[in-house]
Copies of this chain bind each other. A is one copy, B any other.
Amino acid sequence: MSHNSFGHLLRMTTWGESHGPALGCVVDGVPPRLALSEEHIQPYLDARRPGQSRFTTQRREPDRVRILSGVYEGLTTGTPVQLLIENTDQRSKDYAAIAETYRPGHADLTYDAKYGLRDPRGGGRSSARETAARVAAGAVARAVLGDRVTIRAGVVELGGIAIDPARLDWAATGDNPFFSPDPGVVDAWAGAVDAARERGDSLGAIVQVEASGVAPGWGAPLYAKLDAELASAMMSINAVKGVEIGTGFEAARLTGIENADEMDPGPDGRPRFRSNHAGGILGGIATGADVVVRFAVKPTSSITTPRASVTRSGTATEVVTRGRHDPCVGIRAVPVGEAMMALVLADQMLLHRAQCGDG
């Protein structure tokens, strides 16, 4: 019952702080004889890596992953896979001021309330830097899933500007610095981010993650339902404030007639859905249709505009957060959302196999 673990059978435990010597994770329950090496993991870390465009933080971390255990001669052995990423760009600076003040929107106040102390360097454990470990673990989860499942993700709304669903093209996400599946919004988003930064402000975003090839039957009712697991997975990402499946909140505004995903017999005799309001999940179990999740990322809390706050000792103050910060943390949340999707699905695949066989 580790609080820093995720998953039931494929179980990741992350560790590390933003400015400690290293961070990483141990992934337990990996099936044996899967091909795995640093080369399988590194590309996902590279996608998440900061400093790749002017729209993300300028912290420069190579984020090189090392596999310390669980792999022998290029194959997983069934024993725990420890992944380690060194922190290299730890600017020496004086954290005394931050240590004494609670920045609005940050976990400063709450870590202090919980633990009676905190590591103030770069947010410590509450830093988004922890998500590097998730992305690395997500690559292991992909090895577990194999080729049957394809995961796609992108930003579908930024600063209130949504993509045009009719122009959604997942292949486009690699061609712009926003992971946008609609190239038509890229200029508007770039302008919005630049303007926000200029006025000492930041922007929020909505990320969509989809998976196709999910086998009907994956999901573990009632309290490890596929949708409940995804909700927990995505909500555990820094700055996420909402999660929805399929049509999501809008489904509450449809009527039962409209929301019904009618079915026809498919060519294989299996039902085929005319629509996918359900987002590929009914009763917590996958239908076989694409699994569709969206999550809302609040605007970065670290802004250069002064905000009213309070010191540890209880006096009023103003806070300005300088330093290297993402103007929109939602952008780099895309590979993290993909990783969490992979982790949930691989875990459910193993759970399903355990109870119901491979059938």
Q: Are A309 and B114 in contact (CB under 8 A)?
A: no
Give the nearest-CB partner of A28 in chain B: B2
Q: Are A242 and B241 in contact (CB under 8 A)?
A: no
Tally of this chain's copies: 4
Give the nearest-CB partner of A216 in chain B: B113
Residue A160 at the chain B interface, CB threshold 8 Å: yes
Q: Are A244 and B17 in contact (CB under 8 A)?
A: no
**Taking A271-B102, A283-B106, A299-B259 as contacts, is the C-beta distance between A116 and B359 under 8 angstroms?**
yes
Return chain B residues, CB-CB under 8 Å to A116: 32-33, 356, 359
Q: Are B236 and A201 in contact (CB under 8 A)?
A: no
C-alpha spacing A260/B318, complex, angstroms: 12
Chain A, interface residues (CB within 8 Å), range? 35 or more
Return chain B residues, CB-CB under 8 Å to A77: 17, 115, 117-119, 124-125
Q: Are A261 and B204 in contact (CB under 8 A)?
A: no
Mask, A192-219, CB within 8 Å of B = 1, is: 0000100011111110000000001111
Mask, A99-119, CB within 8 Å of B = 1, is: 000101111011101111111
Q: Are B354 and A353 in contact (CB under 8 A)?
A: yes
C-alpha spacing A79/B3, complex, angstroms: 9
Residue A140 at the chain B interface, CB threshold 8 Å: no
Give which listed residue, B14, B69, B352, B355, contacts A16 with CB less than 8 A.
B69
Q: Are A350 and B356 in contact (CB under 8 A)?
A: no
